[in-house]
Structure 1
């Protein structure tokens, strides 16, 4: 499932006319108090709709689309969701039997979607998972299924006897694209807006990894890279997944892990590229370390100042007490 998540969140840097529609479907065995089937749709990374087996209806969740009145279309989407729900029940029942999982809670996942570029090129994908692990994926070019383990081979052989691959190809390359184009038309002002990222470098302490963080940007596609002495750097770098913010924008970070000696010895920079920017953003790690040293100096100076004030205050109080003792008459106690 880890590679599945990487596929979903790894979008290439593209213009604002690059759009995607993604579906996340989950089926779960009986035994807990949640819907046995749920489906979530996202357009360009923004949630647009939700369906579950309890309500048996599509709920529009995105602010940019929830007031849409195309009743005929949402009726069609609801009918599709009902069919997917029935397919998922069969898929889950057969997969549980295949693994001989007669007890416990088990889940099946289907992650699929389509992408449309401004040059007219399109791409689709379809992958299934079971209990959080990759299970089967569809090769749209050859209409074959790829199994990731021995158990999945049995399902692969069974599915390749049916027209499941052909049906999914039609859905992903035609129906999915039609829906995507419709949704982009509905929410063009939101989906094609450009919001530049706010970028920063931070480090917990001098021996911690350096984090290059971009946030508040839209669309979702962004590229964060590192350079060492002007050359592209790929080692010691961990690129984290893109995450949504509550305001409908996104954030992403890349982590550079090198020793303090390496940071002092070489010139490191973080490069951020986004379709909203006329030119790339360049952040110098040396600036972070200098500014970190300045702030550390300020903090130390502030602490020393406070200590001096406390010491002077204590000294003055002791001095006043001594003066009072001297002024007291010799007969008083």
Structure 2
């Protein structure tokens, strides 16, 4: 396949699931010989993703957040494909690509149903989906909310050079906001005072957690580089109210960390209950508490079996070596 100048377009001020996805995407495409540039709609100052891209030797640039600059830059550089991620990048990127007659693909990541101002952007993002040459959704639930034909495209991780986690922390990793269920994680800590719980992330609910935090819940805040943290974690708890296919779950399982989650979004594609993790009825704190308590008593042999099952699932179904060739074929199709 001819090398393409592929733009990965996003609007981002901090690290999160979309940023992890874009990093994995840029790394995977580059390893397959594609010419990739990560384009930030706006420069919000220091960004951990830019640091990681520099380390990987992947090109990136930042614009000024305006449609006119985006349009002019696309017109000047003439990328073969613009692949958008997130509300603002999707809405403006599709218009700018269409006006410049450049192929555009959009990936829809958000599993929650937004309200207020964000709800308007969510509606506009979905309404303008028709401007893309192709749209991806990371879960069936997200796909049902989009007009027209939508292809499912699983999140994925690069499994090369990953070390197995050896820690025992019970952890929450993600945005500290209602849809991710940090209040459930706090309640879990209160119900199991003899165990320590670790929360990595920041968001609008963090100040409330700080005010009413159980002694056994340690708030670590936002981590610029989670690769330095995963080795300390033994169990990832995802008590989300809404999800797509969360990168945190993939990143954890790729390192052998089992995931205990509410059964929402596309997590049932990833987690085989009792084999490589556990899926619990959403909101069922009794079952959630019992499973965490049970995990804390597992033998080392039992935990090693779980670890092997997690890594095997990712390598066979959710690794970049599986996902990237399919995506390159989609790029090839829309370019034609």
Q: Which has the higher contact order (CA 8 A, sep 6+)?
A: 2
Which has the greater radius of gyration? Answer: 1
Larger helix proportion, structure 1 or 2? 2
Could you say whether these structures have the same fold, taking a TM-score greater than 0.5 normalized by the shorter chain as the test?
no
Coarse TM-score class (shorter-chain normalised): under 0.3
Higher strand share: 1
Structure 1 length-normalised TM? 0.26
